[in-house]
Amino acid sequence: MSRWIKIPGGRTVLAVNLQGDVVGYGCRCPAVTAVQHHFIGPLYAETYEIAWDLLQELMCDVIGHNITIQTM
């Protein structure tokens, strides 16, 4: 996880509930071979709403770029 957090040009976000428990997280990193392309993953969320909020935060500063959500 620490490698994902430190990638230059990337972004990592956490969702924490009122008790301080992590209920979601996501990472975005730029593609190595393509200009204006990013990958999202890993992405974890306890609910759809949390996942949506995390995705919005991960994508907010790459408007107009291509984004691929990686799945396992």
Q: What is the pTM of this model?
A: 0.82
The rounded distance, in Å, linking the Cα atoms of 67 and 11 is 13
**Between 6 and 55, residue with greater pLDDT:** 55
**Between 72 and 59, residue with greater pLDDT:** 59
Q: Are 66 and 37 in contact (CB under 8 A)?
A: yes
Task: Give the model's confidence band at 65: pLDDT under 50 very low, under 70 low, under 90 confident, else very high.
Answer: confident
- Which CATH code fits 2-69? 3.40.630.30
**DSSP character for 65?**
S
Q: Where are the domains positioned within the chain?
A: 2-69
Q: Are 50 and 19 in contact (CB under 8 A)?
A: no
For β-strands 66-69 and 37-45, DSSP reports them as parallel
**pLDDT tens track for 2-42:** 776 677 888 999 999 999 999 999 999 988 776 789 999 89
